[in-house]
Structure 1
Amino acid sequence: MTLIKRAPLIAAGAVLLSALFAAQPAAAHPFGPPSTARIGADGSRVTLAWLPAEDDWVALGRSVGAFGDPSAGADTTLTGEQKLARSAGVRDYLLARIGVTQAGRPCAAELAPLERLLAEGARFSFACAEPVVEVDVRIEALSDLHEAYRTVLTAETPAAPARTMLTASSGTRRLRFDPSAAGGVPLVVPAVALVAALGTLAAFLVRRRRQVGAGA
């Protein structure tokens, strides 16, 4: 077969390969960079933002049917991000797979609206029963779709560990926050210390005044 005759076949093969590679990112991304998450604590509240890549959001949305089927009458005027944000399935999925517990008790979860999910991720607030010092953080989103998915969790307020990775085989990590940084120390402690300091200063001034009076 001459090169001229083979050219259409080569071109067709190139188009086919391009189509195949174009369909690969969502399937291959579990082996790429991990998702990230940021966590912080203030008093009895924990905040957490989970930020997967755009194609990971696509994989998540597909798994819960967020995009619908255009051939079956699904709305084609909305962007993929808008469909994800409006999907009850996406919200239920996130609330079921991301959580915080304190002493074995779940902290009440609130998921913020997802309108800017590509830029801000899924933003959670967890209300715990006690001031936050030690909590268990669970992130199982995406890892149920493929075991290679993982999330790097970084503490924005001082905690140990400051950074950790959650995986399909280990989706929960215990974090211990610095009580003073997390607002977990009752305000009465500094107040007592201040009263004690003032008492010591007053006693010193009284003794000093008596010494001066005796010298006169």
Structure 2
Amino acid sequence: MRIHTRVLAGALLVCALGGWAAPAAAHPFGPPSTARIGADGSRVTISWFAAEDDWVALGQSVGAFEDPATGTVSTELTGEQKLERSPAVRDYLLDRITVAQGGRRCASRLEELRALVTEGARFVFDCRSPVTQVDVTVAALTDLNEAYRTMLVAETPATPGQTLLTGAESTRRLTFSGAGGGGLPAGTTTVVVSAAVLLAGAGVSTALWRRRGTGGRS
């Protein structure tokens, strides 16, 4: 069994043994989720990646897992498999991760969910015209806790090449420029994302330190 599969299964077992944790008990103060976006002709693709415990929180919020308080928890499937097979998870993702062109949503589909932590959730958006400028929305998880963040990274040249989406600002307009533009050269994406994650984590740590120093919460 893959390591991340064991983590998801273990998290589900903790829920069963320790009671049904509220979705807000997830970990929004860790590294942000990542959405990698690309464009080719009139098609846009997005791969969205989240941490294991955040997938569990998402699954709990939409009822992908059995509630041990009301019945028996099946052990025939791992937590990851329950997420992958849940229509509610698919509906949730399709509702909260969207692309619009000229004010109209592009037709979207979610590919088969498998190996969620390593492969993410993979979306395909078919727009009406060749893509030059689109509005991208990633609002997954922020309904569970507004502190969640998503780093949007362009894998084909775009402006901006990377930006942080929040619960308050979950939509950003991207302008794709074809060859040469404001996107990120291949090979620099990982460096930029890592730096952005560190900066985001530093900002959260500072906020938490200030709240603890004043003995309260903002």
TM-score normalised per structure 2: 0.69
The whole-number CA distance in structure 1 between the counterparts of 2:41 and 2:180 is 9
2:30 to 29, 32, 41: 32
The code of the aligned residue for 1:141 comes to: A
TM-score, normalised to structure 1, is 0.70
Match of 1:136 in 2: 135
Please state how far the C-alpha of 1:31 moved relative to its aligned partner.
Answer: 1.0
* Matched letter for residue 65 of structure 1: G
Tell whether the 8 Å contact from 1:102 to 1:136 is kept in structure 2 after alignment: yes
Letter matched to residue 158 of structure 2: A
Quote the Cα distance in structure 1 between the aligned partners of 2:178 and 2:166. 27
Q: In the alignment, what sits opposite 1:16? A: none
Please state whether the residue corresponding to 2:27 is helix, strand or coil.
Answer: helix
Equivalences for residues 2-151 of structure 1 within 5 A? 27=25, 29-70=27-68, 72-151=71-150
Counterpart CA distance in 2 for 1:67 and 1:93 is 15
User: Deviation digits for residues 182-215 of structure 1, max 9, x if unmatched?
Assistant: 9xxxxxxxxxxxxxxxxxxxxxxxxxxxxxxxxx
* Cα drift, residue 75 of structure 1: 2.5
Measured in 2, the distance between the counterparts of 1:125 and 1:28 equals: 28
Aligned match of 2:152 = 153
Cα 1:154–1:167 shift into 2, 3 Å: same
Cα distance per residue 1:31-53 (max 9 Å; x no partner): 11111110000000000000010
Q: Partners in 2 of 1:83 and 1:177 — Cα distance?
A: 36
Question: For residue 164 of structure 2, what is the aligned residue in structure 1?
Answer: 165
SS at match of 2:28: helix
Identity %: 64
Give the residue type in structure 2 aligned to 1:124.
F
Root mean square deviation, CA, Å: 2.3
In the alignment, residue 97 of structure 1 is paired with which amino acid? R
SS in structure 2 at match of 1:131: coil
What is the distance in 1 between the residues matched to 2:125 and 2:93? 13
How far is the alpha carbon of 1:179 from its aligned partner?
3.8
Mapped to 1, the partners of 2:162 and 2:116 lie a distance apart of: 22
Distance in 1, matches of 2:180 and 2:90, equals 31
Shift of 1:97: 0.4
User: What one-letter code is carried by the residue in structure 1 that aligns with 2:116?
Assistant: L
Q: How many residues align?
A: 162
Q: Alpha-carbon deviations, 1:113-165, whole Å to 9, x = none?
A: 11221211110000000000000000000011100001000000000000001
Q: Which has the higher helix share?
A: 1
Moved more, 155-164 or 75-84: 75-84
Larger radius of gyration: 1
Match of 2:154, as an amino acid?
Answer: A
Q: SS at 2:143's partner residue?
A: coil
In structure 1, what residue type is equivalent to 2:53?
Answer: D
Q: Which residue of 2 aligns with 1:10?
A: none
Moved over 2 A (4+): 179-182
